[in-house]
Amino acid sequence: MNDKTKPFRPGDAVDALGETEGDFVLPLCLPKPSLLIGEDLAMIVLDTIHGQRVGLPLSPQGAADLHAVLEEALRLLQARDGGSIQ
């Protein structure tokens, strides 16, 4: 988060999608997402290329599962590019 960006406050966030059905794709997001973790909720905060901030609410277990999936994906990408598999 840079100095110009206000902290992400889940209570002030707006549900931009409402009750929608089906899949959707977020706009391209910038590197270095933020992670907020509480007892019952984890929130991944992404900054889009359009200057918007998107919060993805997850359970703590969901955040741990996402970490495991991304770790495996990165491991496979490194192996494909000739890197070592750890």
Each residue's pLDDT tens digit, 8-67: 777 777 766 667 677 777 778 888 888 888 889 999 999 988 888 888 899 989 989 999
Residue (of 67, 41, 42, 50) closest to 16 by Cα position: 50
Domains of the chain: which residue ranges?
Answer: 26-80
Is 0.85 surpassed by the pTM of this model? Answer: no
Q: Does pLDDT of 80 surpass 60?
A: yes
State how beta strands 34-37 and 53-58 pair. Answer: unpaired
Confidence (pLDDT) at 68: 94
CATH 3.30.200 fits domain 26-80? no
**Model pLDDT, residue 86:** 58
Q: Dihedral (C-alpha) 21, 70, 53, 34: value to the nearest 10 degrees? A: 140
Residue 69 predicted with pLDDT over 90: yes
Separation between Cα atoms, residue 51 and residue 29, nearest integer Å: 9
Q: What is the DSSP string of 47-85?
A: EBTTS-EEEEEE-HHHHHHHHHHHHHHHHHHHHHTT---
